[in-house]
Structure 1
Amino acid sequence: MTAVLQDDVLAGLVDLGDLIDAVRTVHRDLTLGQAEQPVPAISATAGTTIVLPMVATSHRFGLTVVKVLTDAPGNREGGGPTQQSTVVVLDSRTGARLAVMSGGACTRMRTAAASAVATDALARNDSRVLGLVGAGPLAVEHVAAVRTVRPIDTVVVWSRSASRVAEFRIALRQREHADGVPALDVLTAPGPRHVVEAADVLCTLTPSRVPVVEGAWLRPGQHINAVGAPPRPDHREIDSHGMARATVVVDNTDIQLQKSGEVLLSLKDGTTTEDDFRCELGAVLAGLAPGRTQHEQITLFNSVGIALQDLAFAALALKRTPWTTPNT
């Protein structure tokens, strides 16, 4: 029987701490040859909309996922979602369809979990101030995820929309109450530079086409999770100087060199080389590549999002769904 799982069910089905552990595992497995993550091909549809089919297989979990992501920036004018996705979960041995999942909660939670894994591997242990450039639902999830791996006591947030910041504050308090964790101090910044200069750990969470963070603003010892830019080669949140200043760790090198605007535009500018993007998160986790080696080092996790992260979420969701029997 195929489970059909909607976002309202999925949001309460997967424990964030378990998901962080599962995302850590699949990234390590990818480096060690226990998982497959091919580069997805982008298909253009009407207007500026693109369709991105993403496939991954985990030998550990015995699962294959096929995620179909649409990025439709034209929806923004009508107030609709710019990104939508559906995840099909298959038994990797038999090909049997185990589940069809809405992609909203999955994408939001696994993205934040990946940032938490990277933060745990790369940020200084004494990091206490979390900076957010962007204040949508992904921001709330990032606060919950990052505070599981570092002793965060203050959040500094900025958004172009004051109403979005107000909604973020309400949603964060509701999440803290639901999770039974102490409320954090939340400060609203007048601009992105103020966030960057205050943050020990910085998360950029905007679908920006032009940089919202300049490399000149980065502070020694800081860690950055660059998360928000869609998989388009002309979109980026961090400028070329920022990419050159930081020690960059990526989720997948081959995908980054084809899909990440941060990578491709800094290469075009001549401020970086392809070798700057060879270090994958899984290699750091497996002890095969260095992460942070100096207290004053600036580290940056450039995240385009990979289907193996969706697979990690799906594996946990299936375990909590009584009418499915995924391989473990």
Structure 2
Amino acid sequence: MAKERDSVTVLNNAEVENLLDMRTCLEAMEEAYRDLGLNHAINRPRSHTYFPTQSKKWPGFNYRFKSQEGGIEKFGVWALRITSDMAGFAMLPGGIKRRKLMPAAAGNRYVGLIFLFDMETTELLAVIQDSFIQKMRVGATSGVGVKCLAREDSHVVGLFGSGWQAGAHLEAICLLRDTKEVRVYSPTPEHRRQFADEMGKKLSINIRAVDRPEEAVRGCDIVMAATATVDAVFDGNLLERGMHVGCIVASDKTQKRRELDDAGVAKCDVVIVTSREQAVYDEQPDIYGAVQKGILTWDRIGELSELVSGKVSGRQNGSQITLFNNNVGMGIQFAAIGAKVLELAEKSGVGRKIPLDWFLEETSP
């Protein structure tokens, strides 16, 4: 990406949202994972660091610093994504436990930033708020899993979740498969009804809010969980032949979470994850835990980069149950989408400019 610059571009979420669409994100994620599989990209595993003292303002919540980074040769950029969080759990009606981040910053806001660096000049290129990219890159990554693993004749989608991640996931699925019916379940009735109404109008598809988890599984071609849950969202014994299953909970050692139970994992014929290394490092219960219990073996678990680059096989026939566990965010995702966003911003003149000199020093670090 090297070219002579004298400024750093700063972009907020609203500007990014006006520049970025799901189709662009899907293309960027597929490129990123193909390049990772072909050794043209590098990723550093995600780090979650918790400070042990609980917040006085938010009892039960702890400070957490998250970072992930990666670079892609094709785009010439290195991305560092950081969040400074107040993290913990909240209880929903019915005793359902979910992850929650508190708006602890000024004005009840959050802190999440992406730093893009030029890998040739080493200079800082951009500072980008991360929230909208976060939503889109998770949905697009799960979308790549759908593209590679779901049957071509998949028409019925069961969706768990009614928040922003669920919306991004559904948008990606609808771009990739001829979706004719969606059944959405979340624990709060008004949330799932509102989601069905709003997303049905946005995507011009039939979305039905259902009252029981099993209704979002039985008879579906794709079952997608896009939630902030702690515990499994449905009984895995309900999975049927030919289904594709997706989930996104990225557990760590401190906050153990999962969306798919052991019974569901055991029924899957093809298992793909974003990162085996992260599953081990964080001792994630749905993957690492399944291996420890003898439900899975590591040689049966492929990575998305291996799948996209042709190093491992995906679905072999229409009766297999396939699983893509989108088990961690990766730095290469932010490098790929960040590079696309910066390119679009520069073409359209969007964003604020601050002097590059502020970020350069004359002595060696």
Matched, 1:257 2:257: no
Q: Distance in 1 between matches of 2:63 and 2:300?
A: 30
Match in the other structure for 1:160: 187
Q: Does the residue aligned with 1:197 lie in a helix, a strand or coil?
A: coil
Match in the other structure for 2:79: 65
CA contact (8 A) 1:208 1:229 kept: no
What amino acid is the match of 2:312? A
What amino acid is the match of 1:108? K
Matched, 1:311 2:311: no
Instruction: Say which of 237, 244, 249 aligns to 1:216.
Output: 237
CA contact (8 A) 2:197 2:207 kept: no
CA contact (8 A) 2:64 2:87 kept: no
Match in the other structure for 2:23: 17
What amino acid is the match of 2:28? A
Instruction: Say which of 190, 201, 214 aligns to 2:222.
Output: 201
Match in the other structure for 1:128: 155
Q: Structure 1: where are the runs of 5+ without partners?
A: 177-182
CA contact (8 A) 1:207 1:229 kept: no
Cα RMSD (Å): 2.2
- Greater helix share, 1 or 2? 1
Instruction: Say which of 244, 258, 261 aligns to 2:266.
Output: 244
Q: Cα–Cα, structure 1 residues 195 and 84, in superposed 2: closer, same or farther, change >3 Å?
A: farther
Matched, 1:41 2:47: yes
> Stretches of 4+ moved more than 6 A in 1?
none
Instruction: Say which of 3, 7, 11 aligns to 1:5.
Output: 11
Say which one has the larger Rg. Answer: 2
CA contact (8 A) 1:239 1:266 kept: no
Q: Cα–Cα, structure 1 residues 44 and 221, in superposed 2: closer, same or farther, change >3 Å?
A: same
Match in the other structure for 1:189: 210
Aligned residues: 317
Q: Distance in 2 between matches of 1:141 and 1:13?
A: 16
Match in the other structure for 2:144: 117
- Greater strand share, 1 or 2? 2
Q: Distance in 1 between matches of 2:271 and 2:131?
A: 27
CA contact (8 A) 2:83 2:112 kept: yes
Q: Does the residue aligned with 2:19 lie in a helix, a strand or coil?
A: coil
Matched, 1:227 2:251: no
Match in the other structure for 1:90: 117
Q: Does the residue aligned with 2:272 lie in a helix, a strand or coil?
A: strand
* TM-score normalized by the length of structure 1: 0.89
Q: Does the residue aligned with 1:321 lie in a helix, a strand or coil?
A: helix
Per-residue CA deviations over 1:139-170 (Å, capped at 9, x if unaligned) read 11111111111111111000111121133134
Deviation at 1:81, TM superposition (A): 5.4
